[in-house]
Structures are given as structure tokens and as C-alpha cells.
């Protein structure tokens, strides 16, 4: 009996890993789309402006005329394809980092530009007094983070913050492809002002084609959940068979079932926690709150399956008494 229970608990644990892995696959697939554009959403479009206006004056114009819109811009250099300048008027989508952190809204407000590196960034750096700096044209940019290695991301790029007051803002618009993540209305207005054509990035087109591609993962989540619930039901049946063999009745029966039920719930809770820790360490999780909610829902359904089975047998026992 003990060996059978061990097998059941292992199966529940593996099912929980399966559930979490499917969510990880979904998030990773979203990351395929988002990370290819360095953290942009599916609203992203891009334009090319043939204008010697500086990035600084361009951003000042945006802040003055489009303050009510959430805007994120990536200026991809035509001169150095590995360089991307990033600006936003809100907190950007956070990309996973191997060390340090990704940009926040505050990094675009001051006078100092910061750098985030890909794992194998092809750019000159200098390490001194425990700090790392990107060195470009005799200017130094403090490195605040290094991105994790994921196959979705280019590994030789580097990213610099920019803003109206920052040294990177002195660059000319004509030397960059402007990638815009904002509302369609805002993007259309901006394109109209500069008389340029709006283009759609490849990753957005791919997402539009494959928007129903997560059905398989959702189906497998349901299958794994059913397996885990079935295993929990088997645990309840095993416990009830012990009751029948010992001929417990009355308060003794209720006490025994309560104690065994609490122990089972604690063990299954430990399995859920273990699954989350394992997945956090080995799987891609861009939104931990989604993983936590999914595993908690699975835990609730597993406990519900156990409790329902026990209560049903108790009712039958009372009817026959």
C-alpha cells in the first residue's frame, strides 16, 4: 500500500510539472514574439524617418504632444546593427536577466545613459572597481544588467537608454529605424506628421498567423489536471479501504479521516511548492504570478477531488448504518 501511495504522489508531482511546463511553453512562445523585438508587444509597428532631427528633440516633441499615450520606442541603429536605444514614458516589459536588471522608467528621465548587454554582446567594455562600462566614442555607459540566454534573443546586441537629456539623445533620427509600441491612433498620427509609411514587424505577423497555437498546451494542462485529480481520488479510496479494514466508526472514524486528510493535504501542498521551485529553476517563467495561480488552482482541484471522494463514502456509510 505504501509503495502504491508513493507512486501516486510521484505521479501527482509529475502532473504538476507537466501543468507548469505547458504554461512555461505558452509564456516562452509569447516570449518568442516579444523578445524578438526586445520586449515589445503585438501593437508594435516601425517607421523610418529621413530627418536630421535629433532623438532628443523627437522625444521632447512626443512628451509634449502625446503625453496621454503609453509609448515605448526602440531606435535600432543602421550604422551599428548590434546597438538599440530604448526609451519609454512608462515601465517597459521586463526581460529576464542573468545578472542585474532591465531598464525601468526612471532610467529614461535623467541625464545619464545606462546599458544592458546580451550574454555575448559585441561591444567594448571596461571593468573597474567592481563596475562594468560600455565604451563608445570615448563615452562610458554603466552596465546595469546582462540578459539571460534564450534562443529567442540575439546574443550579440547591446541596449542603451536614451532620453531628451541623455548623451545618446544627440544621435540623428535618420540613422535609426524607429520601432514604436503604442496605440494604433498614436502611431498613425506620428506617421502622418513625418509623412512615412507604417510597417509591421515580422514577429507581429507571425503571431497573427499562429494566434490559436496554444490550444495544444491548454489541452495538455487539462489532461495533466485530470490525471492529478484521479490520483488524489485514488489516495482517498486507499484511505477509505484502511477505514473498512479497521472497522472504525463514529468519532474515531471522523478523527482518523481528518488526521489522514490533513496529512494528505500537507503532502500535496508540498508537491505544489516543490513543483513551483523546480519550474522556477529549470523552466522559462516570464510571469510568475500566472504560474502561481495555475498551480494553486491545480492544488485546489486535487484537494477537492480527495475531499469529495471521502465525503461521498461517508454519506454512503451513514445511509447504510
Q: Say how many C-beta atoms besides its own lie within 10 A of residue 163's C-beta.
A: 24
The whole-number average pLDDT for the span 36-58 is 84
Tell me: the pLDDT tens digits for 184-223?
999 999 999 999 999 988 766 665 555 556 788 889 999 9
Sign (positive or negative) of CA dihedral 285, 290, 296, 299: negative
Tell me: the pLDDT tens digits for 243-272?
777 766 777 777 877 888 899 999 999 999
The pTM of this model reads 0.59
pLDDT in the model for residue 156:
82
Q: Say how many C-beta atoms besides its own lie within 10 A of residue 252's C-beta.
A: 12
Tell me: the pLDDT tens digits for 163-194?
999 999 999 999 999 999 999 999 999 999 99
Give me the chain's average pLDDT, please.
Answer: 86
| C-alpha separations of 51 from 48, 79, 166, 175 in Å | 9, 15, 20, 9
Tell me the three cell numbers of residue 308. 469529495
Amino acid at each position: 500500500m505504501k509503495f502504491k501511495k508513493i507512486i501516486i504522489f510521484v505521479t501527482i508531482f509529475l502532473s504538476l510539472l507537466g501543468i507548469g511546463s505547458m504554461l512555461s511553453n505558452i509564456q516562452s512562445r509569447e516570449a518568442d514574439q516579444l523578445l524578438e523585438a526586445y520586449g515589445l508587444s503585438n501593437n508594435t509597428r516601425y517607421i523610418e524617418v529621413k530627418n536630421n532631427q535629433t532623438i532628443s528633440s523627437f522625444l521632447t516633441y512626443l512628451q509634449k504632444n502625446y503625453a496621454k499615450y503609453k509609448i515605448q520606442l526602440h531606435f535600432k541603429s543602421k550604422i551599428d546593427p548590434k546597438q538599440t536605444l530604448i526609451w519609454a514614458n512608462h515601465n517597459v516589459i521586463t526581460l529576464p536577466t542573468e545578472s542585474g536588471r532591465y531598464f525601468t522608467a526612471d532610467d529614461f528621465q535623467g541625464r545619464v545613459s545606462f546599458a544592458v548587454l546580451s550574454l555575448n554582446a559585441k561591444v567594448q567594455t571596461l571593468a573597474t572597481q567592481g563596475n562594468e562600462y560600455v565604451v563608445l566614442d570615448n563615452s562610458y555607459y554603466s552596465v546595469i544588467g546582462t540578459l539571460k540566454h534564450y534562443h529567442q534573443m540575439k546574443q550579440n546586441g547591446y541596449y542603451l537608454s536614451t532620453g531628451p537629456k541623455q548623451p545618446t539623445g544627440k544621435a540623428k533620427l535618420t540613422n535609426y529605424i524607429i520601432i514604436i509600441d503604442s496605440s494604433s491612433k498614436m502611431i498613425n498620427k506620428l506617421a502622418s506628421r513625418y509623412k512615412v509609411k507604417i510597417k509591421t514587424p515580422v514577429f507581429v505577423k507571425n503571431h497573427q498567423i499562429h494566434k490559436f497555437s496554444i490550444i495544444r498546451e491548454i489541452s495538455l494542462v487539462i489532461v495533466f489536471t485530470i490525471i492529478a485529480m484521479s490520483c488524489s481520488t485514488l489516495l482517498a479510496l486507499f484511505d477509505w479501504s484502511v477505514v473498512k479494514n479497521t472497522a472504525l466508526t463514529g468519532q474515531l472514524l471522523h478523527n482518523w479521516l481528518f488526521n489522514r486528510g490533513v496529512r494528505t493535504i500537507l503532502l500535496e501542498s508540498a508537491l505544489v511548492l516543490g513543483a513551483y521551485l523546480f519550474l522556477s529553476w529549470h523552466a522559462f517563467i516570464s510571469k510568475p504570478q500566472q504560474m502561481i495561480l495555475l498551480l494553486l488552482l491545480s492544488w485546489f482541484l486535487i484537494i477537492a477531488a480527495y475531499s469529495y471522494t471521502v465525503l461521498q463514502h461517508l454519506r454512503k456509510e451513514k445511509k447504510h448504518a
